[in-house]
Every structure is written in structure tokens, then in C-alpha cells.
Structure 1
Amino acid sequence: MSYYFWRSSLLLLILSTIACSDTSYQWRLIDITGYRPALSLTMQSTKHPHTVTATDFINKVVVLNFGFTHCRDVCPIGLHQLKQVLAQVKHPDLVVLFVSVDPKRDTLDKLRQYTQAFDDNIIGLTHDMASVRALANRYKASVDVGDSDETGHYDIAHDQTMTVFDREGKARLLIRPDHSTDEIVSDLQRLLQL
């Protein structure tokens, strides 16, 4: 009888340690668990022949990034950093989604060429502007389309943060532009283990 008591106690101790391990981890990125809604989207994809939804990314850790192909500064910098992250993490369950905030100019072909220039694993997404704005608003990402000049050129100001979702589609982390590649890699590897 004593053998079963000790065996049960040891099992309980192991399970308690495992259960508490997630709460003891100190995230390097911003923990937004419970502060933003679960992943929800319906978009056209550069990687899939059909319209994709959040269910296409269940059991994946997803990094949601907003940008556009005519962006001259923050988008290339952010995508280059994500390229470095993907190269270090090397996990099939890590997905990077790049949502175009400029569907007028960013066709699927143009978006595919742009994202693949950084990494073949970055998935470009687009839809009509109303859908893009709704998605951006859902995740508190600002998008401001400027007025066109006489040549038809316009600029777009957009949020530079990225939202990370866990395997269940819950918003878990926020990546700011000042987070280092090492910080992002560390937290994504941890999230992939959960």
C-alpha cells in the first residue's frame, strides 16, 4: 500500500510541475493573453487555391503582420526580421501571415513575389479594403490610407506591431518593432512547445 501512495504522490508532483511550468515562464514579448480576440479571418491567400479562414491555421502558431508591397521602410525591415526568425526556429507549425493593407495595388501575384523574396514560408493574404480594415481593427492595428497625389500615388501608414496566436487560435503575444530577433525566437519556441 505504501508503494502505491508514493507512486501516486510522485505522479501528482510531476503533473503539478508540468501544469505550473507555463505560468513561471517570463515572456520576453508582450503577453496579451485575454486582451485580444481569437484569430478570425477570411482572406485570399498566395499559398492556397481557396479562400483561407482561421480554421486553416488550427494547431499552428501564427504571427499576424500587416503591411504592403509598396512600403519602403518598416515592412521590409519587419519581414527581414521574420525571415531570420523562421531560419532559426525551423518549425513546420510556425506560420507567418502578411496581410496587405493595400489590396488596390497588391494583387495575389505581386504579394506572392514580395513575400517569397523574404521567405517562401511567409503567406501573403489580401481581400477587399473593408475586410482588411475589419481585420486590422479587430487586432487594434491602425491603417491610414493617404490621399492620392496628381500621379495617383498614395502612402499608407500602418501599425508596425505583430500579433502572435497559439495553436488554439488565442492571441498570446505582441511583437513590437523594438523586440530583438532573439526575443522573438525564444518566445515562439516556447509557444510551440505548449
Structure 2
Amino acid sequence: MKPASVILILAALVLAAVLPFFQGLSSEWGGTSGYYGYKTDVPVPPLPGAGVPKKGLNVVFFGYRSCGTVCPLQLINLKALHDQWRDRPVNFVFVTLDPENDSQRELNRVMVALGKNFRAVRPTDFRQAQALADRYGDFAAREGAVTGEINHGARLYVVTEGNRRQLLYASPELDLARVNDDLARLMELDRS
């Protein structure tokens, strides 16, 4: 493995270990957001075929179908959130980091099985997926050959109209009741 790859992977692991610590601490560290998730207000690129609904939200996750670690956990979280928000303008967007192996047809089949507000985004190739994840504040690094495992952040991002990333959840170990409170608060703020 190249030294630059080792440094990138180590930096990503350190960041992944530290972010959950900061996730619920914003008010304890002098922030006044009162959100469970890490509050931000950062522009992000629109996702092709998965625009933010009018007066609504996108909950975005970068992963891939053959991931056997954090992706299934986050998809379970997204499904539970979807079941609470399915009748509201909230989309749950899965962006594949492995477009070479995740066909749009198969992604769409999985999204239909998860629920009516699930959307799949399939970038052209891994480099484009990696660049898109980077623009959201995530990371993706492929191990080994093209079919190798992909290290990634497993974060959830909440995006409002105008493609503004408002919240970040850094771990799949979530208090979903508090996430639901965050989403409700964002929806109320958007209405005012």
C-alpha cells in the first residue's frame, strides 16, 4: 500500500472516531443550536434525480450495496426514519460509492423495497462518487482492486431547499427519537 493511501486511511479513521464525540456536544461547547446532530449551514451540490422537495428535506447517505459493515446499520436507521416521515416531504437518498458494481436497476429495486421516499443516485464512476462525497464532507477510499472494499464515513446529512447541508450525524449509533426531533425542528423552521 502506498504511504499516501495509508495516511489518508489513518486520517479518515481518526476523523470517524472523533466526530461522534462532537456530534451531541455543540451546546455543551458553547454552541446554541440545541440540535442532536452537528449543526452546519453549508452549500452542497444537488443530487441528480433526487432534488430536495419543496418545503422539505433530503436525508443523504453515501454507501454501497455490497458493504457488510456500516451500510446495513444506516439503512436500518433510514428505514425507521422513513416510516415516521413517509407522508411528509422528506426524501431518503442513497448515493452509491460503487457505481461500477451497483447498477441503477438494482439500486432502484432496493429503494422501492425500502419505501416510497427512497431515492438512489448513481454517479458515473468511483472518482465522481468520491468527489461528490467529498463535497458533502464525507470520504471514500477504495482498498485493493476495483472490486475491493470501500472505506467511507457512514454519515447522514440533512439537506434543505437550496441545497444547504444543515445537519450531520457522524455515526450509525443514533438516538432516532432525537433525530426525529431534529427533522421536525428543521421542517418547522422552513415553514416560518
Q: TM-score range by the shorter chain?
A: 0.7 to 0.9
2:148 is the alignment partner of 1:140? no
- Alignment match, 1:88: 84
TM-score w.r.t. the length of structure 2 is 0.73
Distance 1:96 1:161 in 2: 13
Residue 140 of structure 1 aligns to which amino acid in structure 2?
G
Distance 2:47 2:175 in 1: 30
| Alignment RMSD (CA, Å) | 2.2
Deviation at 1:41, TM superposition (A): 3.1
2:161 is the alignment partner of 1:167? yes
Stretch of structure 1 that moved more, 76-85 or 87-96: 87-96
2:29 is the alignment partner of 1:32? no
Contiguous gaps of at least 5 residues in structure 1: 1-22, 44-51
Contact 2:55-2:187 at 8 Å conserved across structures:
no
Query: Would you say how many aligned residue pairs link Structure 1 and Structure 2?
Result: 157
Deviation at 1:57, TM superposition (A): 4.1
Contact 2:156-2:168 at 8 Å conserved across structures:
yes
Contiguous gaps of at least 5 residues in structure 2: 1-30
Residue 165 of structure 1 aligns to which amino acid in structure 2?
V
Distance 1:24 1:39 in 2: 23
Deviation at 1:62, TM superposition (A): 0.9
Tell which structure's C-alpha radius of gyration is larger.
Answer: 1
- Alignment match, 1:189: 184
Deviations 1:96-126 (A, max 9, x none): 1100000000011111122333333210110
| Identical positions, percent | 22
Distance 1:169 1:81 in 2: 22
Distance 1:102 1:172 in 2: 26
Contact 2:47-2:121 at 8 Å conserved across structures:
no
Contact 1:80-1:118 at 8 Å conserved across structures:
no
Distance 1:42 1:86 in 2: 19
Distance 1:77 1:87 in 2: 16
Contact 2:153-2:170 at 8 Å conserved across structures:
no
Contact 1:58-1:169 at 8 Å conserved across structures:
no
Q: Secondary structure at the match of 1:32?
A: strand
Deviations 1:142-185 (A, max 9, x none): 1011113xxx7411111111111123321110012232111111
TM-score w.r.t. the length of structure 1 is 0.72
- Alignment match, 2:107: 111
- Alignment match, 1:131: 128
Distance 1:39 1:57 in 2: 15
Residue 151 of structure 2 aligns to which amino acid in structure 1?
A
Q: Secondary structure at the match of 1:179?
A: coil
